[in-house]
Structure formats: C-alpha cells, structure tokens
Structure 1
Amino acid sequence: MVVEWVASVAAQEHPAHEFEIVDLADFSLPLLDEPDPALFGRYGKEHTVRWAEAVARCDGFVFVTPEYNHSISGALKNALDFLYAEWNNKAAGIVSYGLHGGTRAAEHLRLILAELRVATVRTQVVLSLFDDFTRQVPTEPGAFTPGAHQAKTLAELLDDVIVWSQALRPVRERVQA
C-alpha cells in the first residue's frame, strides 16, 4: 500500500522522470551466498547478477521500509549487502512506517547507506500505524490513509532525491570511466 502511494505521488509530481518499483520479493535473494565480498564486484550467482542490474540502472532510490525491532527488515539488509559499487554515488530518500513511524529503522538504514556511498536526503516521510492507517479492528491491519501533510513531505523528498541524483551523476561517470 505504501509503495503504491509513493509511486502514485512520484508519477503525479514528476511526470518527466521515470520511476520503477523494485520489489525485493521479485528477486528471491537467498541469505547472502556469494563467495566473494560485494566490494570486489565478482558476482557468481544469477540472482545476484539480476539484482545488480536492477540497482545499477537506477540513479536514485526511495526506500520504503517498515520498522522491525528498532531496525530494518532482515530481507532489506540482506539485499543491501549483496552489492557495493551499484549503490555508490547515488541519492536516496526514506519512507518509513511503524508504531513510532519507523524512525529507528530509517536511522539504521541511513548508516548502512552511508557505508555503501549513498547520499541520503534530509527530508523523510514518517508514517504512523496509529495516524496513517485506518483500523476497523484494533488487532488487524488497516487501510493506508496517509495524512494530508504526508503527500507534501513526500513531494519534497522526491524533489531532493532527483536533485541530488542529478548532482551526483558526474561523480558516477568519473568513477565508471
């Protein structure tokens, strides 16, 4: 629900830019199984090559992450660890959600992305399970109904990611040359 909302706002706010939903579930990444560290860029597994191609074709990212036990999910951490150079010198924004808006997951993600040489923008969308999801029954997941201010914040985040991604393009080109 959250990813679809982000994609919808992105398409509406920036029709001249191309956005792609990259869903980890589509890659079926096992627990990190490459024999060499990602830093060396020697990928021997077909799933890693497909994942590397998907990340490499992006100039920037908007990560949508829930918070699990004060951090990101194991699946996201695993996916980040599979690659290195494909992440470098790109920009990212973070949309987090959870009981407290997923802020602790976002902070952990910022630290991981810094190690991968991804510049995270300051603007962040923080979605509360109490305020941005309507629950008919307290023990069941609810419909995603973001507050009106959230779309404005997301638009600002997207602006920042686009500007930073464009600014980092010469760095990416210099490194790839």
Structure 2
Amino acid sequence: MSKPKIGVVVGSTRATRFADKPVEWFVSLAKARGDVEVEVIDLRDYPLPFFDEAVSPAWGPSQSQVARKFQEKVASLDGFVFTAAEYNHGPTAVLKNALDYAYNEWNKKPAGFIGYGGVGGARAVEQLRMHAVELQMAPTKTAVHIVWGDFLAIREGKKIEEFEHINQAGKALLDETVWWAKALKAAREADAAAAATKAA
C-alpha cells in the first residue's frame, strides 16, 4: 500500500487570516515523519460559490466547474486536517460551504482539526466533528487548540514550535490521523477490489 495522502485544508480565505501559521507548522511536522504525504488545500484556490446546486453532491453531479475540481482534489486524498477559526461560536462559512460541496469524496476518511480563537476554536471544532460524522468521516479524538494568549503571541512573532503543549498536541493529532488514514485506505482498497471481483 502506498503512503496515505493527507490534505491540510486552510479553512479561512480572509486577507488577514492566521491560518497560514499553523498550516506551515503542521505541514513541517508531517513531512518529518516519512510515512505520509501531505498537501495544502487552500480554499482561496477553489472560489466555490455559495451552495446553490439543484441536488446534494451525494445524489448527483455538481454544475459548478470549481466544485467538480474541488471534489476531484478531495477524492485524491486519504485524510484531512482542517484549520478551524472560530466565528461567533462556529466554524467559518467558507469551510462549511466547502464541506457541503462534496460528499462521497469525504466518505471513510479521517478528519482532524487545528482550532484557534477565544477557547482554542473548541466550539467550532465540535460543530465540525458533527459535520464530519454526517459526511461519513472518522473525526479524531485529539485536536490542536491554540488559545487566545498563544494566538496573540504567535501573531506578534513567536513561533508555534516554541509552545511545547501545542507541539505535543500536533504530534498526537498527526499520529491519530495517519493511523486512521492507513486503516481506512486499506479498507477502501479492499472494498474496491471486492466490487471489481463481483462485477467481473
């Protein structure tokens, strides 16, 4: 089995977003492992319209060309870690919209989260876990929560690597995400092989 491919989804498109800092840090952690491939999925590169499809992507193809491109990218990956800014006790609208623009492509893949904000993005992460379950994903128990004091220090120039508690959480999140990505990739491949044998 080939190495699992993990997509790190940048869940904010604001010009002044904080997300790039934890993304760079987490990608560095992942690349140091050697048993996983990692790719940044920036929602700025997929300017999805506000969801207005005739049917859910669970039931039919999307009309939006950008949506189809996004779905192809999601389908090519084996697991995801999402940055989760917290707006008014919930995740960003752009991230929820992106989740809604795919369905089968998310199925049977792990979902991890890096939250930040007043309580480390915890309320946004909890909502995203529920969305992930509905999309038939496997949300990890561990998440990274960058609380307000750390958030401010990082914005002022301190490196995330200097926060041992954040590094420990990041490594634990990565361990869980990679474990589930390997297990679910093997299971999906077994399902595909069984379906091909049945069809032959």
TM-score by length of 2: 0.80
User: Is the contact between residue 117 and residue 151 of structure 2 (CA under 8 Å) also seen in structure 1?
Assistant: no
Aligned partner of residue 140 in structure 2, secondary structure? strand
- The answer to which of 71-80 and 32-41 deviates more is 32-41
Identical-pair percentage: 38
Query: What residue is the counterpart of 1:9 in the other structure?
Result: 29
Shift of 1:150: 1.1
Shift of 1:171: 3.4
Aligned partner of residue 143 in structure 1, secondary structure? coil
Aligned partner of residue 39 in structure 1, secondary structure? coil
> When the two structures are aligned, how many residues end up with a matched partner?
171
Query: Following superposition of structure 1 onto structure 2, how do residues 100-115 of structure 1 map, counting pairs within 5 Å?
Result: 100-115=119-134
The 1:144–1:58 alpha-carbon spacing in structure 2 relative to 1, beyond 3 Å, is farther
Query: What residue is the counterpart of 1:78 in the other structure?
Result: 97
The amino acid of 2:58's aligned partner reads: L
Query: What residue is the counterpart of 1:126 in the other structure?
Result: 145
Q: Structure 1: give runs of 5+ residues left out of the alignment.
A: 136-140
Runs ≥4 residues deviating over 4 A: none
Query: What residue is the counterpart of 1:138 in the other structure?
Result: none
Q: Structure 2: give runs of 5+ residues left out of the alignment.
A: 1-20, 196-200
Report the RMSD for the aligned CA atoms in angstroms: 1.7
Aligned partner of residue 35 in structure 1, secondary structure? coil
User: Is the contact between residue 2 and residue 144 of structure 1 (CA under 8 Å) also seen in structure 2?
Assistant: no
- The answer to which of 121-130 and 32-41 deviates more is 32-41
Aligned partners of 1:155 and 1:19: how far apart in 2?
14
Aligned partners of 2:54 and 2:107: how far apart in 1?
21
